[in-house]
Chains A and B, each alone.
Chain A
Amino acid sequence: MHSLTLKEMAAGLRARKFSARELTQHYLRRIETFDGQINSFITVTAGQALAQAAAADEKLARAEGGPLTGIPLAQKDIFCTQGVKTSCGSRMLDNFIAPYDATIVRKLHHEAGMVMLGKCNMDEFAMGSSNETSWYGPVKNPWDLTRVPGGSSGGSVAAVAAGLAPVATASDTGGSIRQPAALTNLTGIKPTYGRVSRYGMIAFASSLDQAGVVARSAEDAAYVLQAMSGFDPLDSTSVDRPVDDLVAGLNRPIRGLRIGLPKEYFAAGLAPEVRARVMAAVGVFEQLGAVISEISLPNAPLSVPTYYVVAPAEASSNLARYDGVRYGYRAQGVKTLEELYKRSRGEGFGPEVQRRIMIGTYVLSHGYYDAYYLKAQKVRKLICEDFRRAFEQVDLVLGPTTTDVAFKLGAKTDDPVAMYLNDIYTIAANLAGIPAMSLPCGFVDGLPVGLQLMGNYFDEARLLNAAHQYQQATDFHKQMPQAFR
């Protein structure tokens, strides 16, 4: 059952080949059997899942519900789920039972009728590119258990790649959907900023954070993103604009589609084998009728330094709410209020979160604001202008998602700058707010390689269409890691 597409699953449910209960039990059994090896879940919500499955079966029996009714999904533990622990991968929120549902949780489970299997492991507060900063321990890559799955949505991708969930939610502030999707052979999409509600998604850097999906194909991703997207008055940055039909356009031919290859994304630093797989994919797009040209995003190389001012600045402000008073971790044996704040935050946050809070505090402090924060916001504008100019010439931008395949656990944990450079190709899309996705384009020594597509604002349908057409011509995305078949 775990090799079916979501469309096939929905058909199987409607044809009574299996029930939502059986489908859910199948995944719960797989989680029990395999998750000890990869640590992809923080919480498994078996009881709730079976209750939701029963409700879905009743709906299906009345021929009600939609294309996702009864299909299981894993939630990244950054999304608030009422009555269920929502830890954000942090000791700070280890005891936090969310008192409300995130909008996407309401939409996916209450409206679309999906079944929640549990909450996925992640880098602490989504800060990390390897899922090694989680309070709950690292996630292992199902393709090689000695390697990282990427991050911050490491639990979401590992669960889907290992067939412990058919699809999962994720979030992306600087690449946290696309980089882990690339390292685990999945299709992951970060939509346009404002397309999916951030209400109930625990905040990291609010001008960059965006929720999305990791799935086993562009088609699967399209169904789930469709159900998540849309205007939400509870999120002040949500965009009030109708959602395109993401599924209907998947089968459109892409003849004449203009694809630009930014030369900065193929410069020094890209592993030659990864480059070769990406260029082979470019060849497939050409065969499908796409028109390829070289473009330039001259300021893209500055996206990592820009991000490491903007994101920590926003994080230091967002994470000021964790004070040991109203909810979350509280240090014991403190005598003063200041000591309560400092020790609760000193003990409740891990090192990566502390580093980013300090960087943010520093760049926003008196005397440094202009040199760092204001400068970074100006460079952000330049990066955004690069994309505006690019999309005057081309429909989509194509490049690698990462410089290399998954690295070994522990290889970069003590070198933050080396870790940050993992996101060198993904961050620019967050800074500009444009939609972007990663999809499988081959293997190097048995490890997956990802291809990145970036689109203009609200062009999710075009991205998914191009990805789906590529996946009709290739079968990389259908490969599963041997040990989890």
Chain B
Amino acid sequence: MSFSIEHIQQVAHLARLALGPEQAAHYARQLSDILEMVGQLARADTQGVEPMAHPLEMHQRLRPDVVTETDRREVFQALAPAVENGLYIVPKVIE
């Protein structure tokens, strides 16, 4: 697998990363190397093997459906780059 610059820009768009042209060229080469290394997986015989998503065989624990968190809205909003009247501010979305 070898990445073209256009392909890298497409993946970067999906990942919401702004890349300059030079960066994209650099990443195209490096990501191609990485995927070539990953390509070794093809040689493993995995016929009939169950995919493993998690190291422990465990079930999702359930807890009573009660409120446990306190309201810390102001503490959390104090960390935001821009807030106004308790709302997070972003550039205008609707024209």
Contact = CB atoms under 8 A, between A and B. Distances in A.
Interface size class of A (residues with CB under 8 A): 35 or more
B interface secondary structure, majority: loop
A375 interface: yes
Contacts of A340: 90-91
Contact of B90 (A194, A337, A375): A337
B52 A381 contact: yes
Given A237-B56, A237-B58, A309-B41, A378 B46 contact: yes
B91 A336 contact: yes
Given A305-B37, A337-B93, A325 B30 contact: no
A353 B64 CA distance: 38
B55 A339 contact: no
B42 A375 contact: yes
Contact of B16 (A233, A338, A384): A338
A381 B15 contact: no
A435 to B, nearest CB: 11
Interface in A215-233: 233
Contact of A99 (B11, B33, B75, B82): B75
A285 interface: no
Contacts of A347: 18
A355 B34 contact: yes
Interface residues of B, number: 48
A359 B7 CA distance: 12
Contacts of A343: 18
A335 B91 contact: yes
A341 interface: yes
Given A305-B40, A330-B82, A354-B17, 20 more contacts: A207-B55, A233-B61, A239-B58, A302-B40, A304-B37, A326-B76, A329-B81, A338-B16, A354-B27, A357-B17, A358-B11, A362-B11, A365-B14, A376-B41, A378-B52, A380-B52, A384-B55, A415-B33, A416-B33, A420-B37
Interface of A: 96-97, 99, 193-194, 207-208, 233, 236-237, 239-240, 299, 302, 304-306, 308-309, 316, 320, 323-330, 334-343, 345-347, 349, 351, 354-355, 357-363, 365, 372, 374-382, 384, 415-417, 420, 431-434, 457
